[in-house]
Chains A and B, each alone.
Chain A
Amino acid sequence: MSYLLPKLKTKKDVDDAIKQTEDKVLVLRFGRSDDLVCMQLDEILSKTSEDLGKMADIYCIDADSIPVYTQYFDITLIPATLFFFNGQHMKVDYGTPDHTKFIGSFKTKQDFINLVEVICRGAMRGKLMVTSPIDSRNVHQYELLYQDI
């Protein structure tokens, strides 16, 4: 389904997307288009992208094509979904160890729509971190392994 979503292929594309998205939530999906979970996520993203058109811009990024950003955002698990607002990375408390990105697919479209709405509302109020409304049972749980700790 990822062919329905715009793709960012180079570092410059990503830079421009982050800088030029104004007053909208920017959703960046890092993943691989042949990954099963990723395809599931892409379907949800592509189906909601029209409804969310006024609130969010959604882009797909191949995690392997832009290693600079993959490393910068510390993408170790895919698919990873990141949120930005006016060039500011939005942190979200999903109930998982990592607040900087959402790992895995959303269970329903509504979950994703609600999450984007909360992020948008929070960002409009100048918050840098919001709490995701998604039930933790519907969030893929994982553990982070820290090197040298």
Chain B
Amino acid sequence: MAEKMKRNVSFAKQEEQGDGIGDAGLPETKRIKTFKEKHSLDSDEEDKVDETATYRMNEEEIEGAEDDDDGTAESDDDIKITPFNLKQEMSEGYFDKDGNYHEKKDDDVHDEWLENIDWERLEEENAMKKQAEKGDEADDEDEGDAKVVRPELEVMREMLGFMKEGESVTKAMQRLGGGKRKTGSAAQRKAKKDSDSSSEVTAESKADMLKLTDLVDELVARGQFDMYQYTYEKIQHKLTQDEEAQAAKKDAEFDMFAEDVDKKKLTTNTNKQDESSGTGKDEMDPDKVYWEYKWENKDDADIYGPYQSEQMENWTNQDYFQDGVWVRKVGSGQNFYTSKRIDFSLYV
């Protein structure tokens, strides 16, 4: 029994060799590996002697074990066996006194996917992204809406061609797509009759609809998720707003220090506030809303803050303010409101 256990050490061998076959051929030094026997049910006192000794085995102890057969296959009858290469194993880790093998942990974690990353390229891309963002900001500074990039407005302008006044994008698509299918068999039969005459029209409008869908998709992909709800008027309004902003920008470029520019700047600033899309990074950005809060609605309660809306929103989401706290906007001097009724995400 004991000899069978010894073979537990070499993983490949164990299954192929039945009880006692070729046992005698094993080199004497393999006995040293008895620490492995701990895993077997049959381990007994005999093994325990080794156990303490093999706590973190030295390499000399196993020197002879695999010296001659460094990883090469040794044949046992007709079966080729890849022996347990203890030397290699020991170089990569050690065994503790319980016979468990511990791999040496590399300092740097090896993740396959990490190696596949082309870091240089990633950096380049990041740099490009940053540049693009900077460009956008500079472009849109006066428009107030950072999302609106020039081509986007052109896409909108193109969309207007497919829409009718008073229509939302969804409605326009429905109209071009031939309207909603009527349910009910009578309506269907009627529709079948009509379909012959209207098929030419639908073919044309279908192409229009596909174009419109493409345009909307393009905008949605850029983050304009509510594009489908946009009405003809809203798009038009956006376009005119942009034109005005462009004009204002031009004026500002002409004479920066003139008084009327200041006025325009003021209005654009308030626009910014309305659309709450300030993107600065300074402490206390004037375009952002800051909050202070206290735990009790008492005059002498400690006031904490100021904090940004994002921070307040996170805290609320994490149930940090489970019972509600009393909040107010910094600088407003108004009284405190319970945070339960305030949707901080509106101020982000």
Would you list which residues of chain B between 293 and 348 have a CB under 8 Å from chain A?
332, 334-335, 337-338, 341-343, 346-347
A12 on interface, CB distance cutoff 8 Å? no
Would you list which residues of chain B between 260 and 277 have a CB under 8 Å from chain A?
270, 274-276
What are 17 residue pairs bridging A and B, where the CB atoms are less than 8 Å apart in the complex? A22-B233, A22-B237, A54-B270, A108-B335, A118-B343, A118-B346, A121-B276, A122-B343, A122-B346, A124-B275, A127-B346, A132-B341, A133-B337, A133-B341, A135-B337, A135-B338, A135-B341
In Å, the complex CA distance between A125 and B277 comes to: 11
Q: Mark A100-142, 1 if CB is under 8 A from B, else 0.
A: 0000000010100010001011101111001111111000000
- A134 pairs with B346, CB closer than 8 A: no
Contacts of B226 in A (CB 8 A): 126
A86 on interface, CB distance cutoff 8 Å? yes
Query: How many A-B pairs fall under 8 Å by CB?
Result: 46
| Nearest 8 interchain pairs by C-beta | A121-B346, A126-B226, A110-B334, A133-B342, A133-B337, A133-B341, A131-B343, A54-B270
Contacts of B276 in A (CB 8 A): 121, 124
Assuming A86-B234, A118-B346, A125-B346, what are 12 further A-B pairs, CB within 8 angstroms? A54-B274, A55-B274, A108-B335, A110-B334, A120-B274, A121-B347, A124-B274, A130-B343, A131-B341, A133-B341, A133-B342, A134-B337
In Å, the complex CA distance between A14 and B347 comes to: 31
A62 on interface, CB distance cutoff 8 Å? no
In Å, the complex CA distance between A73 and B347 comes to: 30
Contacts of A125 in B (CB 8 A): 346
Would you list which residues of chain B between 206 and 242 have a CB under 8 Å from chain A?
226, 229, 233-234, 237
What total of chain A residues lie within 8 Å of the partner, measured CB to CB? 24
**Which residues on B are within 8 Å of A, measured CB to CB?**
226, 229, 233-234, 237, 270, 274-276, 332, 334-335, 337-338, 341-343, 346-347
In Å, the complex CA distance between A140 and B196 comes to: 61
In Å, the complex CA distance between A120 and B276 comes to: 10
- B343 pairs with A23, CB closer than 8 A: no
A114 partner, pick from B229, B233, B237, B337, beta carbons under 8 A: B337
In Å, the complex CA distance between A120 and B226 comes to: 17
Contacts of A132 in B (CB 8 A): 341
Chain A: minimal CB distance from B244 (Å): 13
Main secondary structure on A side of the interface with B: loop
Contacts of A22 in B (CB 8 A): 233, 237
Contacts of B346 in A (CB 8 A): 118, 121-122, 125, 127, 130
Chain A: minimal CB distance from B275 (Å): 6
In Å, the complex CA distance between A118 and B229 comes to: 21
In Å, the complex CA distance between A90 and B20 comes to: 86
Asked, given contacts A23-B237, A54-B270, whether A131 binds B342 with beta carbons under 8 Å apart, the answer is yes
Contacts of A133 in B (CB 8 A): 337, 341-342
Chain B: minimal CB distance from A97 (Å): 16
Contacts of B274 in A (CB 8 A): 23, 54-55, 120, 124
Contacts of A86 in B (CB 8 A): 234
Q: Mark A34-75, 1 if CB is under 8 A from B, else 0.
A: 000000000000000000001100000000000000000000
- B234 pairs with A134, CB closer than 8 A: no
In Å, the complex CA distance between A132 and B346 comes to: 12
In Å, the complex CA distance between A71 and B60 comes to: 99
In Å, the complex CA distance between A110 and B329 comes to: 12
Contacts of A121 in B (CB 8 A): 276, 346-347
Q: Closest residue to A127 on the B side, CB-wise?
A: B346
In Å, the complex CA distance between A110 and B335 comes to: 9
Chain B: minimal CB distance from A89 (Å): 15
Q: Closest residue to B237 on the A side, CB-wise?
A: A22
In Å, the complex CA distance between A36 and B110 comes to: 76
